[in-house]
């Protein structure tokens, strides 16, 4: 087997479902298992570092990310200008000018064929001008940051959880102006709460313009067509709040609950042009509501807050969240006893997510040999794992973002509110295996633009003289 293909084969083993446990010393297997579940994959030397600290102390450290120095990652992110901007600035200075330019072109030439989204520099389009480049920069910064964080942050568990919770409260960057809000959404509605309180994160996502726009609640109004930019009461957010964000599909709610929740959230909208949450009293339904058997008296914006209180404290929510976290960290079919304990912790702590995650990560089920290699990594986890395993230097992550699109997992572009699936059946197929093998081969040959894998002197010399095993296909 030639060297690149041998390395590619090792990458498929090490970054597919976890490091081969049979290749590890018996004492190292639990450490490798934890590194594969709590991080985006072990780097060279990680096993020794965790062993020196002690596995339980390392887990405790990852559960308290503020104690971890992450200045190395911060330095890599500094060049990504839009990450720290608020949504109003992004809309005014980055996406707005390009949008106005497109409107102007359509008015001047209404019969022109509109290009497919994402097309540029093709036969039907001229190269991007400055406004188009700046508009695209919002997404490319997000894509780069996602991959750089996955590969380089030392706060690995926090980053894994940011991905988990963004997926849980998914919004689709391809819908209208949603992309204007995503940087702020992840930064302010998701990241601060992944090891905090569930109710706080639920409230932050409910008020985020990203969620309000994506699920159309910003248009929901009891005044119907009489209200500006409204078509009446919209049930999209109410349905996903109950079905996906809290109780779960079998959580015990009814269609009447959905209708009443939707009424409670009428008037929760977006301030324009400030691109921020506001409550519009004139659009709110003032009737009494009954949600999950509890009566909610008329109270304006407070009705929506009361709904969030009810669903966050509901036993079905505790079980739904416990199940999803156990699926992420243990197996696609986690043991019922573990779910019971995690759900009980969720209820007892009023949604303290650090405590719920800790129960799972320190459980006998998590450390059981049955859980080893029981998960198949998503494309994002696979790519990040391969980069970490090889010690790759990522100068630009945009080619990697394109790789994820080719693998069926474009970051921030999952269209349905369900987010990307966690289970193996979604990601295991002949085509998926070929895509992963191709990526592993390209990575092992240093054939991915912007990414450099350290090679031995022998491998470097072979590349220079054009040995067939190192040539680009």
Return the CA Rg of the chain. Answer: 24
Q: Which domain holds residue 148?
A: 66-110+129-214
pLDDT in tens, 380-433: 999 999 999 999 999 999 999 999 999 999 999 999 999 999 999 999 999 999
Is 350 in contact with 325 (CB distance < 8 Å)?
Answer: no
Domain finish residue from 284, 312, 340 = 312
For residues 243 and 252, give the distance between their C-alpha atoms in angstroms, rounded to a whole number: 10
Structure confidence at residue 127 (pLDDT): 63
Structure confidence at residue 117 (pLDDT): 43
pLDDT in tens, 307-350: 999 999 999 999 999 999 999 999 999 999 999 999 999 999 99
For residues 165 and 328, give the distance between their C-alpha atoms in angstroms, rounded to a whole number: 11
Domain finish residue from 312, 329, 345 = 312
Q: Are residues 86 and 204 in the same domain?
A: yes
Rounded to two decimals, what is the model's pTM?
0.90
- Six-digit token string for 28: 């190292």
Is 329 in contact with 358 (CB distance < 8 Å)?
Answer: no
Q: Are residues 300 and 333 in the same domain?
A: no
Is 284 in contact with 291 (CB distance < 8 Å)?
Answer: no
pLDDT in tens, 225-259: 455 565 699 999 999 999 999 999 999 999 999 99
* Sign for the pseudo-dihedral over CA of 69, 71, 72, 76: positive
- Using a 10 angstrom Cβ sphere, with 0-12 exposed, 13-18 middle and 19 or more buried, the burial of residue 16 is buried
DSSP 20-75: -GGGS-GGGHHHHHHHHHHSS-PPTTHHHHHHHH-HHHHHHHHT-GGGS--HHHHH
Is 422 in contact with 328 (CB distance < 8 Å)?
Answer: yes
- The backbone torsions φ and ψ at residue 269, rounded to the nearest 5 degrees and listed phi first, read -145, -165
Q: Are residues 74 and 146 in the same domain?
A: yes
For residues 191 and 146, give the distance between their C-alpha atoms in angstroms, rounded to a whole number: 12
Strands (E), 249-362: 268-271, 276-279, 289-291, 294-296
For the chain, the domain total comes to: 4
3 state DSSP class of 422:
coil
Q: Are residues 95 and 174 in the same domain?
A: yes
For residues 304 and 265, give the distance between their C-alpha atoms in angstroms, rounded to a whole number: 5
Domain finish residue from 287, 312, 337 = 312
Residue 116: pLDDT band by 50, 70, 90 thresholds?
A: very low
First to last CA, the chain: 17
């Amino acid at each position: 087997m030639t060297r690149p293909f041998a390395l590619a084969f090792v990458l498929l083993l090490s970054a597919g479902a976890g490091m081969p446990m049979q290749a590890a010393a018996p004492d190292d297997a639990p450490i490798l298992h934890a590194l594969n579940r709590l991080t985006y994959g072990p780097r060279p030397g990680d096993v020794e570092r965790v062993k020196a600290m002690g596995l339980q102390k390392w887990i405790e450290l990852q559960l308290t990310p503020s104690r971890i120095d992450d200045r190395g990652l911060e330095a890599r992110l500094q060049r990504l200008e839009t990450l720290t901007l608020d949504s109003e600035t992004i809309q005014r200075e980055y996406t707005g000018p390009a949008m106005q330019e497109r409107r102007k072109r359509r008015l001047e030439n209404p019969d022109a064929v509109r290009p497919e989204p994402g097309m540029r520099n093709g036969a039907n389009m001229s190269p991007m001008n400055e406004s188009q480049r700046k508009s695209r920069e919002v997404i490319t910064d997000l894509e780069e940051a996602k991959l750089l964080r996955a590969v380089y942050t030392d706060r690995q568990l926090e980053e894994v959880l940011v991905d988990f919770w963004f997926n849980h409260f998914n919004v689709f960057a391809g819908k209208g102006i949603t992309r204007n809000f995503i940087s702020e959404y992840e930064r302010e509605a998701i990241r601060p709460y992944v090891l905090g309180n569930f109710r706080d994160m639920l409230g932050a996502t409910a008020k985020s313009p990203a969620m309000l726009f994506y699920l159309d609640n910003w248009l929901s109004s009891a005044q119907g067509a009489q209200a500006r930019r409204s078509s009446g009461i919209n049930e999209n957010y109410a349905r996903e709040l109950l079905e996906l964000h809290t109780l779960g599909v079998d959580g015990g709610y009814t269609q009447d609950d959905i209708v009443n929740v939707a009424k409670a959230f009428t008037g929760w909208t977006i301030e324009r042009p400030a691109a921020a949450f506001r409550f519009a009293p004139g659009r709110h339904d003032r009737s009494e509501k009954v949600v999950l058997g509890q009566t909610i008296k008329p109270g304006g914006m407070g009705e929506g807050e009361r709904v969030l209180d009810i669903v966050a404290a509901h036993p079905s929510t505790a079980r739904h969240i416990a199940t999803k976290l156990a699926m992420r960290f243990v197996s696609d079919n986690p043991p019922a006893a573990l779910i019971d304990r995690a759900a009980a912790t969720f209820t007892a702590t009023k949604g303290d997510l650090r405590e719920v995650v800790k129960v799972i990560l320190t459980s006998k089920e998590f450390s059981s040999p049955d859980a080893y290699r029981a998960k198949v990594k998503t494309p994002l986890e696979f790519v990040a794992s391969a980069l970490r395993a090889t010690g790759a230097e990522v100068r630009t992550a945009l080619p990697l973002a394109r790789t994820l699109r080719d693998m069926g997992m474009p970051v921030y572009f999952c269209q349905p509110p369900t987010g990307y699936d966690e289970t193996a059946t979604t990601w295991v197929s002949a085509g998926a295996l070929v895509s992963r093998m191709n990526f592993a081969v390209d990575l092992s040959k240093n054939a991915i633009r912007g990414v450099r894998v350290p090679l031995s002197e022998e491998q470097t010399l072979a590349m220079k003289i054009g040995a067939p095993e190192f040539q680009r296909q």
